[in-house]
């Protein structure tokens, strides 16, 4: 019954108007692909860890970064948004973009959600790796669950600048915030930190993709860093956004109890990296339990070169569905995508809006979606696809109040 409490990972949550998590998503939470030895996402995680362990070492050669890859994906909206200064009315908070257990709890939309807590616990250098959840379109490069690696590095005045240089990290009195820096920081500190951040990430890109990788830096905006950048790499002739990064907002660092430090941070998508490193053509393959897929990645050394060999390619089947969307109410495309996904599961390759119009007399809006069905492991029959297609129509009618036209 819809009023019964929701149980996720053995914890109970009261439902409210925000609740939109689906059973399919809850099932994905237990997979922990990044912790599965021999999984491509695990191997990419190990490559990144190994790079950081070697790059930043302490007095005795010990790694200074510690790794957190087992944080609970259920977080509060405070952790995911407020602790990172995401404004109250920011679009990313919409119900249509994230999975909510209720108005207080959600599945993290980025691993940055744990940043403040880990700093508060006393850490200065750490990586956070985990599964993240976003309601999104369905296609070969988008899936509602994917994986990220975040990093934070905090440094003191004394660690950055030798005494005799006479340089300081912080302005004596807060200065003006400009395009290039926050009010608290000096130009010198931001210059040295952004150099450290960018060269660390350029070298990481070379370690992951080979030293001839083409990359470029693009200015970006995040509520939790300033200035901010994105690193793009060339892949099949196209620029692909790989990661976001920047100088951490001092307000966040200070509130977490590390006000004597300046920090840089970044967040990077593991699927993006793995798809390019291993030539994996479809993001849904990461969820495959087929041994023909998994056994290609059974190696002890994460740096073993591997190129994915397609197991087999099965034909796709395309079916359109058109409906009137309810005249009042808040129909969102992502609600429909969720219906499609929860009925069709991994048989859905892609859903796209191909046509929409408003009926001049009835003043009703019609949407036509094209659904591409294809299974990664077998050929789908026409009857099987038709049954699912009809069930999607019935479920959309029942749950979203649409009126199917064909």
Binding stretches for ligand PHE (CB under 6 A): 110, 112, 150, 222, 225, 244-246, 265-267
CB closer to ligand PHE out of 230 and 349: 230
**Distance of alpha carbon 64 from the chain centroid:** 25
DSSP states along 107-122: E-SSGGGGHHHHHHTT
Structure tokens, 29: 């939470």
Comparing every residue's Cβ against ligand PHE, the nearest one is 267
**CB-nearer residue toward ligand PHE: 270 or 388:** 270
Tokens 């492991």 correspond to 377
Tokens for 139? 């296609």
Closer to ligand PHE by Cβ: residue 250 or 374:
250
Block residue for tokens 């790059």 = 55
Answer whether 100's CB lies under 8 Å from 21's CB.
yes
For ligand PHE, the closer CB: 255 or 370: 255
For residue 227, say if its preceding peptide bond is cis, omega within 30 degrees of 0. Answer: yes
- Partners of residue 127 on adjacent β-strands: 67, 151
CB nearer ligand PHE, residue 147 or residue 375:
147
For the chain, how far is it from start to end, CA to CA, in angstroms? Answer: 31
For 25, the enclosing helix (H) or strand (E) is helix 23-29
Structure tokens, 276: 């390019």
How far is the C-alpha of 155 from the C-alpha of 161, rounded, in Å?
Answer: 10
Min. distance of Cβ 126 from ligand PHE in angstroms? 12
Nearer Cβ to ligand PHE, position 49 or 389? 49
Q: In the complex, what is the shortest distance from the CB of residue 90 to ligand PHE, in angstroms, rounded to a whole number?
A: 13
Least distance from ligand PHE to the Cβ atom of residue 281, Å: 23
Nearer to ligand PHE, 77 or 112 (CB): 112
Min dist CB 134 to ligand PHE, Å, is 9
> What minimum distance in Å lies between the beta carbon of 239 and ligand PHE?
16
Q: In the structure encoding, which two tokens stand for residue 262, read together?
A: 């300046």
> Which tokens go with 177?
């915030």
Residues 6+ apart with CB under 8 A from 197: 245, 246, 247, 264, 266
Alpha helices, DSSP H, located in 31-103: 40-55, 77-80
Minimum CB separation of residue 241 from ligand PHE in Å reads 9
DSSP per residue, 84-153: GT--TT-GGGSTTTS-BSSSSEEE-SSGGGGHHHHHHTT-SEEEEEEEEE-----BTTB-SEEEEEEEEE
CB of 167 to ligand PHE, least distance (A): 25
| Residues 379/312, Cβ–Cβ less than 8 Å | no
Q: What does residue 57 show for φ and ψ, rounded to 5 degrees?
A: -120, 150
- What's the rounded Cα separation, in Å, for the pair 128 and 230? 19
Smallest gap from residue 228 Cβ to ligand PHE (A) = 6
CB nearer to ligand PHE: pick between 39 and 110: 110
Q: Which is nearer to ligand PHE, 130 or 344 (CB)?
A: 130
């Amino acid at each position: 019954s819809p009023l019964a409490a929701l149980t996720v990972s053995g914890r109970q949550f009261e439902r409210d108007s925000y609740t939109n998590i689906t059973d399919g998503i809850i099932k994905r939470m237990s997979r922990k692909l990044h912790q599965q030895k021999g999984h491509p996402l695990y191997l990419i995680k190990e490559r990144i860890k190994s790079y950081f362990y070697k790059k930043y070492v302490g007095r005795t050669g010990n790694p200074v970064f510690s790794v957190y890859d087992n944080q609970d994906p259920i977080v509060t909206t405070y952790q995911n948004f407020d602790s990172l200064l995401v404004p109250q009315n920011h679009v990313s908070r919409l119900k249509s973009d994230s999975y909510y257990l209720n108005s207080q709890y959600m599945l993290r939309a980025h691993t940055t959600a744990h940043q403040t807590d880990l700093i508060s616990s006393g850490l200065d250098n750490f990586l956070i790796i985990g599964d993240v959840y976003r309601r999104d379109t369905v296609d070969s490069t988008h899936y509602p669950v994917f994986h990220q690696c975040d990093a934070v590095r905090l440094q003191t005045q004394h660690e950055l600048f030798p005494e005799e240089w006479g340089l300081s990290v912080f302005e004596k009195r807060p200065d003006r915030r400009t395009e290039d820096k926050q009010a608290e920081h000096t130009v010198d500190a931001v210059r040295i930190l952004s150099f450290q951040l960018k060269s660390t990430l350029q070298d990481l890109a070379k370690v992951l993709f080979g030293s001839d990788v083409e990359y470029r830096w693009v200015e970006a905006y995040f509520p939790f860093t300033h200035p901010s950048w994105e690193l793009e790499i060339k892949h099949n002739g196209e620029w692909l956004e790989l990661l976001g990064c920047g100088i951490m907002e001092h307000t966040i660092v200070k509130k977490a109890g590390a006000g004597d430090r300046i920090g840089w941070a970044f967040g990077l998508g593991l699927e993006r990296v793995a798809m390019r490193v291993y030539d994996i053509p479809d993001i849904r393959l990461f969820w495959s339990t087929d041994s023909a897929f998994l056994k290609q990645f059974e190696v002890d050394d994460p740096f073993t070169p591997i190129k994915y060999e397609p197991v087999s390619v099965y034909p796709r089947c395309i079916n359109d569905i058109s409906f009137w969307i309810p005249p009042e109410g808040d129909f969102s495309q992502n609600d429909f995508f969720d219906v499609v996904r929860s009925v069709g599961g991994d048989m859905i390759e892609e859903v796209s809006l191909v046509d929409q119009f408003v009926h001049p007399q009835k003043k009703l809006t019609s949407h036509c979606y094209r659904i591409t069905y294809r299974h990664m492991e077998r050929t789908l029959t026409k009857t099987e696809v038709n049954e699912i297609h009809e069930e999607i129509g019935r479920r959309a009618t029942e749950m979203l109040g649409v009126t199917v036209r064909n």
